[in-house]
Structure 1
Amino acid sequence: MQPKRPGNESEISLANRITGALVGAAVGDALGGPVEGYSPDQILERHGGRVHGIVGPWNGDAWRSARPIAPYHKGDGHITDDTLMTHALIRVYAKVRDHLDAYAIADRLVPDLMTNPRWIPELEATALPLHRIFLAEKWLVTRLHYGHTDPREAGVGNIVNCGAAMYMAPVGLVNAANPQAAYTEALDIAGAHQSSYGREAAGVFAAAVAAAATPGATPDSIITTCLALAKDGTRTAIDQVCEVATHHTDFESALRPLREAVSPYDTVGPDYRTPSLAARRPSRVHAIEELPIALAMLLVSAGDYRQAVLGAVNYGRDCDSIATMAGAMAGALGSPVPDDWSKRVAEASRLDLWEPATTLTAVTKQIFEQDVRRRRAHESAFTALGGPGCSD
């Protein structure tokens, strides 16, 4: 059962914030899946208006054959690889029960993807997660299992995209109210998967979720945190896109201006289905599109879950990942995930969306207790060295 949310935002518990973030991410993912890859105008034409909830596959009953490279049943409340990877990372935390690094990805996450069959909603079958994740995620298996690459460097050479960022919400939640720690941990983890601005986005998104889980947080405080930590093109893109977002209070009016604001930093180009020659290559001046847009939708919606996610969905392009990120941040802030959406996604995907949150909450508390013991031991040792707190 989904925990109830207290009326006072400052009183929202850790469990409620973790539940809101993870259920919110999964629901956003499911809503964005069926319109992923299309433009706002195409979405408007296909659906006779904006998407306001769960819709069916773009190609109807021909979903299996319409795009042979991706024969997935996107729509009807099915979660996608964003949620599959998020839940896989939570399973790693549940096994390690401590902070993670790139070696945990090699030693725990990759075997989980390769050896444990699970129900895959988009395939409508039980299969290895490896058979559903896309090429940039299959890189993990190629480089770490077959290539025996140093996990800290395995992300180098992969296409630079949001593949690592899209499942970093658990890192932010484990480090709730400590964005700097979330950023650092996510950068380490993402080194096994991504490089350049793809890795940077993973760190910044984890920090954003940690900031959202801080009592008293607001969309503005989350953006401020991101700008304090982000580097290079990622920082500039967030700054420019969020500046544009401050001039809008509804997603409809923001769709075109936000795309125009992010386009100088996005390497994919105007046609999402036909990427430019410079697409997804390492860069100091570029950024993934998904994170700045997700942050912008959080601002436009003033942190309201429904409006942030619907804005992300109707933006199109890689909107399942954008909605995943926006949903995680809005949920961590405490904005309720609509019950009708979450129940339908859980039923359609045959997943208990609340169990991973229960698991991660327990693990997060255990990790915090370990952190406190480690910190106290360090303070005691440092004091013995003559540091602050010593008698002389």
Structure 2
Amino acid sequence: MTTTLATLTLDDRITGSLIGAAVGDALGGPVEGYSPEQIVERHGGRVHAIVGPWHGDEWRTARPIAPYHKGDGHITDDTLMTHALIRVYTTVRDHLDAYAVADHLVPDLISNPRWIPELEAEALPLQRVFLAEKWMVARLHYGHNDPREAGAGNIVNCGAAMYMAPVGLVNAANPTAAYAEAIDIAGAHQSSYGREAAGVFAAAVSAACLPDATPATVIDTALSLAKDGTQAAIEEVAEVATHHSDFESALGPLRAAVAPFDTVGPDYRSPSLAARRPSRLHSIEELPVALGMLMVGGGDYRRTVLGAVNYGRDCDSIATMAGAIAGALHGESAVPSDWAKTVADASRIDLHTPARELAAVAGEIFARDRERRRAHESAFARLTETP
């Protein structure tokens, strides 16, 4: 019997979303930072599976600022941060806020060595995450800033958005709640359109968990919640995406659609002077493009994620987001099992345990929410009773 979207269980959607995100991350990692044209030149065509490092055996020294083994199925910081946030949920076992980042996420990053695939060594996650994530440690652990405001002053990028899928999954089928929770959490990390993208991405993942959800309904939900430049960017990219059903023809048009909102500029490795500064007019590039590729791929996991990967630029984060949404739409079976196995084996990581743990926590939180809601209903009824 064929499983329809409406009959997919929440556990299946959570597993599909988290594994889908990790696989997208690993696929995009080795071509991150390059243009579609450079990707074709390097690989003799588009990327259609897991590939090796861009610089081959020289991966450790080719870019001293980033001595990471990207490729061969290795997850990157996107997945490291996603799993770190899941660990916070499994500790708190309730909704999170900016204080949970200060009390649990930051201590985990600086205290617990873990296997880091890109370093091929056991190390503190802090030693791998990007500067925008190191900012949290400086502001919260050393600077003792108010967690709700600690993101102010950080570079505005996709750093907070890239790991917000768990927030959408804990709030599955309730995009408004997912948006609000992610906005609160992300205040410890980002401001402006970086924080906004975190909320909208969480809402998109939540919306993908709704029975009968489609790429169009996910995008409509994102647009209903998004503000300022983020809303405008998603609207422009989504409109362009409706005219394409193959990522090859969509690569240039999607980039052209998002370019007016993206502050990084045409050369991803040489950002413009206005890059990553707060603005109500701009948006991160990654989320609108991920949603655009979701539309181009018709929600199909393989087509959606490969489109994100071959887009280049910050394509590991684009593919992480696209993979999380497509995985939530269609469940674990949508993610090619050979890709998932390669990523799990190469990264020395169990991709199923975080999903099982988050699913259990999501159930507990829903039960607690129901109790709180009933208590509120009872109190409100007493307040409004006619004497």
* TM-score, normalization by structure 1: 0.97
Q: Counterparts in 2 of 1:195-214, with a 5 A limit? A: 195-214=191-210
The structural deviation recorded for 1:136 is 0.6
Question: 2:369 is matched with which residue?
Answer: 371
Q: Deviations over 1:242-283 (max 9, x none)?
A: 100000000000000000000000000000000000000000
The structural deviation recorded for 1:391 is 5.5
Distance 2:133 2:304 in 1: 26
| 2:246 aligned to which of 246, 250, 267 | 250
Question: 1:260 is matched with which residue?
Answer: 256
Q: Counterparts in 2 of 1:63-142, with a 5 A limit? A: 63-142=59-138
* Residue 57 (1) aligns with residue 53 (2): yes
The structural deviation recorded for 1:8 is 1.4
Structural RMSD (CA)? 0.9
Distance 2:305 2:95 in 1: 29
* Residue 48 (1) aligns with residue 36 (2): no
Partner amino acid, structure 2, of 1:324? T
SS of the residue aligned with 1:65?
Answer: coil
Distance 2:160 2:228 in 1: 18
Question: 2:383 is matched with which residue?
Answer: 385
Question: 2:219 is matched with which residue?
Answer: 223
Q: Deviations over 1:23-43 (max 9, x none)?
A: 000000000000000000000
Distance 1:320 1:69 in 2: 18
* Residue 156 (1) aligns with residue 152 (2): yes
Question: 2:181 is matched with which residue?
Answer: 185
The structural deviation recorded for 1:51 is 0.1
| 1:338 aligned to which of 336, 339, 344 | 336
| Structure 1: runs of 5 or more not aligned | none
Q: Deviations over 1:121-178 (max 9, x none)?
A: 0000000000000101100100000000000000000000000000000000000000
Partner amino acid, structure 2, of 1:42? Q
Question: 1:144 is matched with which residue?
Answer: 140
Partner amino acid, structure 2, of 1:101? D
Question: 1:359 is matched with which residue?
Answer: 357
* Residue 29 (1) aligns with residue 30 (2): no
Partner amino acid, structure 2, of 1:144? L
C-alpha spacing 1:98/1:69, structure 2 compared with 1 (3 Å): same
The structural deviation recorded for 1:102 is 0.1
Q: Is the 8 A contact 1:22 1:331 kept in 2?
A: yes
The structural deviation recorded for 1:6 is 5.8
Q: Deviations over 1:288-317 (max 9, x none)?
A: 000000000000000000000000000000
Runs of 4+ in 1 over 6 A off after TM superposition: none
Q: Is the 8 A contact 1:6 1:12 kept in 2?
A: no
Distance 1:222 1:72 in 2: 34
C-alpha spacing 1:92/1:6, structure 2 compared with 1 (3 Å): farther
Partner amino acid, structure 2, of 1:224? D
Distance 2:156 2:8 in 1: 36
Partner amino acid, structure 2, of 1:148? H
Partner amino acid, structure 2, of 1:347? D
| 1:281 aligned to which of 271, 274, 277 | 277
Q: Deviations over 1:321-348 (max 9, x none)?
A: 0000000000000151000000000000
* Residue 294 (1) aligns with residue 286 (2): no
The structural deviation recorded for 1:9 is 1.4
* Residue 348 (1) aligns with residue 349 (2): no
Q: Deviations over 1:53-110 (max 9, x none)?
A: 1000000000000010110000000000000000000000000000000000000000
* TM-score, normalization by structure 2: 0.99
Distance 2:82 2:210 in 1: 21
Partner amino acid, structure 2, of 1:200? E
